[in-house]
Chains A and B, each alone.
Chain A
């Protein structure tokens, strides 16, 4: 099941729009290209106000190694965007300071197909378990 989703996910990497946000080691938003949603009201504020997900893993993100990339598939927790997204995190440098690059890629166009497939698979398996 995951291999089907992975294939769809890889397909979507060629199609989905993406936004780059740059955050400092305290979680403050330094920059965003605002491709998916506008962040003007969050400039210099904590990204925890935008995403509970980022808040939940920030202690981990602060300590990732420069070459490490952390990637997650998320049903959006950001109020302004709906659907399925990947969040990718990587340490980098910006204006002479160590920062975290947070890339949000919209893969919602794959969501319905993945959901239909997974729903059917899971329902069939649950039915089989209950009848066995």
Chain B
């Protein structure tokens, strides 16, 4: 079995901890509780009979990723950069943030995730896409679990392929 460090990052209140809890524990709480420092847990994902242990970091949200110590990102095989589809301000720094992350960890996979899709009316999604500085790889709802398993399965497949 291979083990991979994967980091959830992005601005505060975008749902990183909710994605963490949905993936690790299959739970969700409506109550917003800020994260201090880092929380870490793991779950094994099986892809075509191969197991990948995802060592998942949930980092306290910062408006800009250059506020997070670089050492936190070192050794990460993948970054999940989360934005809140209901708060466009959370994706206004996405391009700068992703450029910054690519400099620190050039070999890491990066997935851009638009979370809280459950709060967006279907006919507004195209409008949102048009104002995003970087395209989202996947839209999720940590609340309803929409695409959360798919996100981590896709990631695990790519990590296996790159191994």
- Specify whether A and B are partners: yes
User: Which A residues form the contact surface with B (CB < 8 A)?
Assistant: 2, 5, 52-53, 55-57, 59-60, 70-75, 77, 84, 111, 114-115, 118-119, 122-123, 125-126, 129-130, 132
Given contacts A57-B75, A74-B39, A122-B12, 12 further A-B contacts (CB under 8 A): A53-B38, A55-B3, A56-B40, A56-B75, A72-B71, A73-B37, A74-B40, A115-B34, A118-B60, A122-B13, A122-B34, A129-B90
Assess A75 versus B71: contact at CB under 8 Å? Given A55-B55, A126-B32.
no
Assess A52 versus B34: contact at CB under 8 Å? Given A122-B61, A125-B12.
no
Report which of A5, A59, A74 forms a contact with B38, defined as CB distance below 8 A: A74
**Chain A residues closer than 8 Å to B32, beta-carbon distance:** 122-123, 126
Interface size (B, Cβ < 8 Å)? 29
**Chain B residues closer than 8 Å to A77, beta-carbon distance:** 39-41
Can you list 16 A-B contacts with CB-CB less than 8 angstroms, sorted by A residue number?
A2-B67, A55-B3, A57-B74, A59-B75, A60-B74, A60-B75, A73-B37, A74-B37, A84-B36, A84-B37, A115-B36, A119-B33, A119-B34, A122-B13, A122-B61, A123-B32
Chain A nearest CB: distance from B150 CB in Å? 23
Assess A118 versus B34: contact at CB under 8 Å? Given A52-B55, A55-B3.
yes
CA distance in complex: A123, B34 (Å): 9
Q: Are B39 and A75 in contact (CB under 8 A)?
A: yes
Q: Are B36 and A53 in contact (CB under 8 A)?
A: no
User: Which B residues form the contact surface with A (CB < 8 A)?
Assistant: 3, 5, 12-13, 32-42, 55, 57, 60-62, 67, 71-72, 74-75, 86-87, 89-90
**Chain A residues closer than 8 Å to B62, beta-carbon distance:** 2
CA distance in complex: A129, B42 (Å): 33
Chain B nearest CB: distance from A74 CB in Å? 5
Assess A75 versus B36: contact at CB under 8 Å? Given A122-B61, A126-B13, A130-B86.
yes
Nearest chain A residue, comparing its CB with the CB of B61? A122
Q: Are B36 and A56 in contact (CB under 8 A)?
A: no
Report which of A52, A115, A129 forms a contact with B40, defined as CB distance below 8 A: A52
